[in-house]
Amino acid sequence: MTISVTRALLVSGLGAGLIAGLPGCSFSLGSGDVKKSDVIGQITAKMTDADGNKPETVACPDALKAEVGAQTNCQMKVKGKPYNVNVTVTQIKGDSVNFDMVETLDKEAVASGINDQITQQFHKPDAVTCPDNLKGFTGATLRCEIKDEGQTFGVTVTVTDVQGGDVRYNFKVDDQPK
């Protein structure tokens, strides 16, 4: 079964719709990892909503490791609303670290959307869980789980479109339980 769901995300300042994030942000290292304060500074400087409002607060749990594929998930507030931002290292050239920043849909919101759709079409499952936030760019995927009547089914969530601040995704429940 495939079901489509739409959830709103903060719009990046790069156009009318939410852009995958901000590719190619770069930071020059003195040595070691990108400091937490530097990651916060990049998010504060570059992320905005559709009206150009910058985050009032940004919090990141730790520094960003200077290795390709390293990630950290930060939180920001714009006009009092909380949003999640994933920061991922894409390239290292000498002492320069390039990274992308992308807004994400909270894993609880994704699980709740799946739960609501399954409940409306069939019945309320025992539980729906997602291990991570869903990245807000077309083609992003996330594997979640539905527990129902003693069985566990995998669920593949795929972002199908990002426009005007909305992230549209669909999900497909595996045909067979795990």
140 - beta bridge partners? Answer: none
Range(s) of the domain holding residue 98:
22-104
Q: What is the DSSP string of 118-174?
A: HHHHT---SEEE-SSPEESSTT-EEEEEEEETTEEEEEEEEEEEEETTEEEEEEEE-
Predicted TM-score (pTM) of this structure = 0.77
* 62 and 123 part of one domain: no
Q: For residue 17, tell me if it sits in a domain.
A: no
- Model pLDDT, residue 29: 63
Task: For residue range 86-111, list pLDDT tens digits in order.
Answer: 999 999 888 888 899 998 888 999 99
Residue 32 three-state SS: coil
* 79 and 127 part of one domain: no
- Model pLDDT, residue 2: 36
